[in-house]
Amino acid sequence: MIVIADSSPLVALSVCGCLSLLDRLFGQVRVPDAVFQEVCVAGKPEASNLSLYLQDKVLIASTANFPIHPLKGLGLGEREAMALYLEISADLLLVDDQRAKKVAYANGLEVMGSVGVLLLAEQRGMLPAIKPLLMTLSASDVHLGENIIIKALQQAGEL
C-alpha cells in the first residue's frame, strides 16, 4: 500500500512517538518535497525526528496539471500531496486539515487523519490504548478538536 502524507499527521505522529506505525501499517510512505521542507525547518517541533524518518521517502510532485478542485485555501504541501497521490496512484492520503480533507474526498481520494492512524493501529493490536497518545497530542501544539478525541475514544472503547 502506498501512502502519501501531509505535514500535520506527520507532526502529530512524531509528537506521540508513533511514526514507525506508518511503515508497519501501510508499507510505503511517501511525501512531496514541499511537505518535507515544511516539517524539517530547523527549530520547528519534531524537525529532527521527521528529517531522519523522511530522508528516503521524499518525491518531487508537479502541480502543473493538477486536476483537483477547488484549490482555494490549500497550502503548497497539501496541493503537492494530492498531486503526488494522483501521479503515483497512491492508496491513501494522510491529512488532518478539514478543508484539505473535504477537497480530497470531493475528488475521490482515500483519506485518513492522524487519529485514524492511531485507531487503526490499536484495532490491529499495535497499540494497547490510544487515550495516552491523544492526551499527549492534546497537551502539545497539535490541534485536536474535543469532538475528535471523544469520537476516537468511543471507537476504541476507552471512554
CA atoms of 74 and 102, how far apart (whole Å): 11
Write the pLDDT tens digit of every residue in 115-133: 999 999 999 999 999 999 9
Q: What is the pLDDT of residue 48?
A: 95
Q: Could you tell me if 156 and 148 are in contact, meaning their C-beta atoms sit under 8 angstroms apart?
A: no
C-alpha distance from residue 50 to each of 40, 53, 66, 103 (Å) = 6, 5, 27, 26
Please give the domain boundaries of the chain with CATH numbers for all domains: 2-115 (3.40.50.1010)
Confidence check: pLDDT of 70 > 90: no
In whole angstroms, what separates CA 50 from the centre of its chain?
12
Q: Report the predicted TM-score, pTM, of the whole model to 2 decimal places.
A: 0.93
What percent of the chain has a predicted confidence (pLDDT) above 70? Answer: 97
Q: What is the pLDDT of residue 144?
A: 86
